[in-house]
A and B are shown apart, each in its own frame.
Chain A
Amino acid sequence: GENVEQHPSTLSVQEGDSAVIKCTYSDSASNYFPWYKQELGKRPQLIIDIRSNVGEKKDQRIAVTLNKTAKHFSLHITETQPEDSAVYFCATNQAGTALIFGKGTTLSVSS
């Protein structure tokens, strides 16, 4: 089945720094790559997604890049703020039927 590897598992940055989280996947048929943010005690919520026909997408301080040849995609957060502290999950669709998540990255932003 699909395997989604996510790194790092924990990431600590200073406020104002950038944070990068990377994911690799195995299914070459995957065509949808969302990122979810889960704050402590809350449900996961979509923050940005990208489809296979696009290489990069930006939304204010967050961006996602996709390299289909290498089968990896990354989340970039610039000018981090304390409220960015959360667990971030990457995901991808497997064979068009299952949404498979990475194991998550705990991001801590200290002020």
Chain B
Amino acid sequence: EAQVTQNPRYLITVTGKKLTVTCSQNMNHEYMSWYRQDPGLGLRQIYYSMNVEVTDKGDVPEGYKVSRKEKRNFPLILESPSPNQTSLYFCASSFMWSPNTEAFFGQGTRLTVV
């Protein structure tokens, strides 16, 4: 089944403890991205990647890192999480290197930083 898989689905952590949210797609998509969703603010792009080893900042990159060592995986790393990073996170992928085709979203990761 074609899908985007994120893990974990839920995570509660403490301030400053490094964490990684994994994202994997099995559709051979070129473009992958991370979004955070907060009430009243919609979906804001954190980072995106147009190809292996090519990543760039979105609108809200502060406090996050990403890597794209393989085409299928695009992990989101929070080196030192803070409470303002409490949010619902979505990974998405699309076929072309440029985001002009359908974006397929993962199930979401609800992160709470205390």
Q: Which residues of A contact B (CB under 8 A)?
A: 1, 6, 9, 31-32, 34, 36, 43-46, 49, 51, 89, 91, 93, 96-104
Flag if B40 contacts A103 (CB, 8 Å).
yes
Q: How far is the CB of A6 from chain B (nearest CB, A)?
A: 8
Complex CA gap A91/B99 in Å reads 10
Flag if B107 contacts A34 (CB, 8 Å).
no
Chain B residues within 8 Å of A36, by CB: 103
Given A93-B99, A96-B98: A45 in contact with B41 (beta carbons within 8 A): no
Could you show 8 A-B contacts with beta carbons less than 8 Å apart? A31-B100, A49-B102, A93-B100, A97-B98, A98-B59, A102-B42, A103-B41, A103-B42
Flag if B90 contacts A44 (CB, 8 Å).
yes
B105 interface contact, C-beta 8 A: yes
Nearest-CB residue, chain B, relative to A99: B99
How many pairs, one residue from A and one from B, have CB atoms within 8 Å of each other in the complex? 64
Flag if B43 contacts A32 (CB, 8 Å).
no
Complex CA gap A110/B36 in Å reads 30
Nearest-CB residue, chain A, relative to B58: A98
Total B residues in contact with A, Cβ cutoff 8 Å: 26
Chain A residues within 8 Å of B90, by CB: 43-44
Nearest-CB residue, chain A, relative to B101: A32
Complex CA gap A45/B44 in Å reads 16
Q: Which of B34-65 contact A (CB under 8 A)?
A: 35, 40-45, 48, 50, 56, 58-59
B59, B92, B100: which contacts A32 (Cβ < 8 A)? B100
Chain A residues within 8 Å of B41, by CB: 103
Flag if A98 contacts B99 (CB, 8 Å).
yes
Given A97-B56, A98-B58, A100-B59: A89 in contact with B43 (beta carbons within 8 A): yes
Complex CA gap A43/B94 in Å reads 15
Flag if B48 contacts A44 (CB, 8 Å).
no
Given A43-B107, A44-B90, A89-B42: A99 in contact with B33 (beta carbons within 8 A): yes
Chain A residues within 8 Å of B33, by CB: 98-99
